[in-house]
Amino acid sequence: MTDGFREPCPADRASMTSPGMRGKRPDGSARRALVTGANGGIGTAIVGRLRAEGYDVLTTDVAAPADVVLDLAQDPLPDDFGADVDVCVSNAAVTNTLSPAHRMSAEKWQRDIDVNLTGAFRVVQACLGGMRERGYGRIVLISSLAATAGGRGQVAYSASKAGLLGMAATIASENVAHGVTVNSVLPGLIATPAVHAMPPEVLVAVADRMLPSGRMGETGEVAALVAFLASSEAGYVTAQQIAIDGGAHLSNISLGSPGKST
């Protein structure tokens, strides 16, 4: 302590200068990371990146293969689930609910909210007690560009992902003095297997609006951002909403000639 302020512990200082220490606890053992939705394109990349950095990664998904198979919307969590987790990455989500607001059924709406928002809260809540007790924790919520920009035909998805942003800000505020950071990652169009499976005409239709950089994002790019936010190096970063969308959130309106800057 210096003048009443808490300083990083020696192990945290070491991890700031040594990437190989990112996944280590102060005693040299592997930090425990939990990744939900681990079987999807982004989830798989996050799991691989964290394991490569030395974390002991626990995976969950609604279907095998996963260390814990459960439906976050309704299944009871196992005893002591999350108690030893240092890094919680909430990635599980329903992404294929498509309906305009005036035709959205109550069942479809509720499913998105139950999985994408309530399911995320259940997992984070399960991890918080241990994080607060140990004075260290990293929580990363995978939200979406739709949380801030909306998405036609995705009112339930957009609302659920926007809810994560408010949840993150609140939990960050409540736990900042306990060494726990909470941040949101907002991916744009990422080249996952699910996206590649979309009809070509659909991808062409959204390319101009969502791909100003001329390409989709890679799952590894999302995983690299998550790995940074999960590390001790990001200990002074909390309650942030970080878009990784290749500039899709930028205005593409030009007052000059098409393709030329004014």
Structural domains in the chain plus CATH codes: 10-244 (3.40.50.720)
| Per-residue pLDDT, 17 | 46
Q: What is the pLDDT of residue 228?
A: 98
| 192-244 pLDDT, tens digit each | 998 888 888 878 877 777 888 889 999 999 999 999 999 999 999 999 999 99
Query: 259 falls in which pLDDT band (50, 70, 90)?
Result: low
Higher pLDDT, residue 208 or 248: 248
pLDDT of residue 254 exceeding 80:
no
d(C-alpha 23, C-alpha 25), whole Å = 7
For 4-34, how does the pLDDT look when each residue is reduced to its tens digit (9 = 90+)? Answer: 566 665 545 545 546 567 999 888 999 999 9
Catalytically active residues are: 157
Cα torsion angle, 64, 67, 72, 75, sign: positive
Measured at the alpha carbon of residue 192, what is the angle toward residues 158 and 74, in degrees to the nearest 5? 50
Give the pLDDT of residue 176: 98
CA distance 83 to 130: 5
CA distance 166 to 147: 11
- pLDDT, the chain, mean: 90
Return all residues near 171 (Cβ < 8 A) that are at least 6 apart.
Answer: 124, 128, 139, 180, 182
